[in-house]
Amino acid sequence: MRAHSLRHLTAATTCPWLLKRRSSSCVAASLSFTQHPEQEQDQTKPNKTNNNSNDGNSKPSSYFPKRGQELELVCESLAFKGKGVCKVADTGFVVLCDRALPGEKLIGRITRKRDNYAEATKLKTISPHLDSVDAPCEYASYCGGCKTQNLSYEAQLRAKEQQVHELIIHVGKFSDKDPEFFSIMKPIVPCDIQFHYRNKMEFSFGSKTWLPKESFQEKGDRKENYALGLHAPGFFDKVLNVEKCLLQSEPADMVLAAVQDNWRDPQLGLSPYDVHSHVGYLKHLMLRTGRDVKTGLPELMVNFVTSSYKPELLEPLVEKISSIPEVVSIMNNVNTSVGNTSVGEEEHTLYGKSTITEILRGLTFEISANSFFQTNTHQAEVLYKLIEDCAGLRGDGSEIVLDLFCGTGTIGLTLARRAKHVYGYEVVPQAVSDACRNAKLNGISNATFVQGDLNKINENFGNDFPKPDIVISDPNRPGMHMKLIKFLLKLKAPRIVYVSCNPATCARDLDYLCHGVIEKNIKGCYKLKSLQPVDMFPHTPHIECVCLLELS
């Protein structure tokens, strides 16, 4: 999806993480700093005016840091995506620094200069951050996944809740002076399980091992090429070798360990795929954990993504892995393209069955190797209960539900039991097929799922279903396209439940739906009744929100 640019949005220095992004997947506001001079001076030359002038308003030449410059920084808060919002000592210039945490004093090196802020990498800590804890994972300092493991969970929740509040005010244009504001903004729902909560992990095979400097020095000249793990931050061709991951299930860690112990054996003839030469066999190892419907015990799917179909090469690994009791499925997705995707053009079952099952809100879902499913099953139960409460179905089977971006139908199917009919729309054909299969599996006949791109709807959209009483919208990170916003404002369904995985684009879309778009002569017609942040992924910067809007 294509993100919509924000219009005329300015944030004060109290929320300097509202930044203009180049990426289409993240939208925020540009910064405006009152301490900047009206015109930025040439940063490549000495500031002669400052050195020779008695003008008390002139800033020192070091006020605008240069690329490569090392500075003492103090981190004040966390930005969206988990970067630390830091101030340069003595000047107050704002610098975004990865892995900097609130209260931490550090030395950082400037890596990029923007119009009115800079980005830096952390070199060393002078004094530790507030709410400091020891990260239990040995890879926490290097892996890009769990950036805030060394921040107490309570502090993580506070930072996420603050981010949502600031975005709703500065991007969504909802006033915190409104007496109803703090009754609308609900406190964040924590996740009871902070480790081993992910039911899906994808690891990459690599021909180049990435090592942090200190590990490289410890290993001396010893060369390590092949790796199986996670991509090093900022590198598509280098992999941090990982022996275990504290986010996935313990049986999944057993499988990872078994593969790590065996795949480098020269006698097996296995080679990692090289993204530069496009030579090699093993691309990815995907591990998915579900539950047996009858026993409730974990069951595991192992999916090898390879560049060609040579099952004989995988036989020794299949034999080792299949001895682990929880493993009930071993799949082989064959991806012959030069791209890095884990979805193959062909899929083969090497052991056991082709799907695993999971239970959510009393329903059974079949999960194939490439199915989309909520990554944190435990917290998805909490999330879906909140969605169901916001939907406010009467339960008499009289209401129509329109489920936009329905994926494999998990939300719509949990509501179908209390609705007259659910109509779901999703762009991915495989997801629509999974949704239909899951409806049949659960004996649900009042749900219709349609494949279609909600970015490309026209004036005929809406003719194929009756006017809904409730709209569920669960877009991906870029949020909703303006065409869909216009459709919803014209449709005027009594209630919209907006489920968001990106609070920045969520705030923007809430602004459109409630306040309209003045320059496009679009009038908003909804009132925000509640906004509930949910922590789906502890130790990461990701935030989910469930929003209820009612027709005003």
Query: Is there a binding annotation on residue 426?
Result: yes
**Neighbouring C-alpha atoms within 13 Å toward the C-beta of 199:** 25
Query: Is there a binding annotation on residue 217?
Result: no
Active site residue 436: no
Strands of 400-404's sheet in order across: 447-451, 421-426, 400-404, 470-473, 495-500, 544-551, 526-534
Cα 409 to Cα 94: distance, rounded to the nearest angstrom: 43
Alpha-carbon radius of gyration of the chain: 25
Query: Is there a binding annotation on residue 55?
Result: no
CA nearest 230: which of 214, 247, 252, 206?
A: 206
What are φ and ψ of residue 343, in 5° steps?
-85, 125
Query: Is there a binding annotation on residue 253?
Result: no
Cα 398 to Cα 488: distance, rounded to the nearest angstrom: 21
Cα 518 to Cα 506: distance, rounded to the nearest angstrom: 19
**Long-range contacts (CB closer than 8 Å, 24 or more residues apart) made by 306-310:** 306/281, 306/282, 306/332, 306/333, 306/334, 306/335, 307/273, 307/280, 307/281, 307/282, 307/283, 307/334, 307/335, 307/336, 308/281, 308/334, 308/336, 309/334, 309/346, 309/348, 310/281
Contacts of 180 (CB under 8 A, 6+ apart): none
Active-site hit among 86, 406, 436, 501: 501
SS3 category, 380: helix
Q: Annotated binding site: which residue ranges?
A: 374, 405, 426, 474
Q: Annotated binding site for S-adenosyl-L-methionine: which residue ranges?
A: 374, 405, 426, 474
Write out the catalytic residue numbers.
501
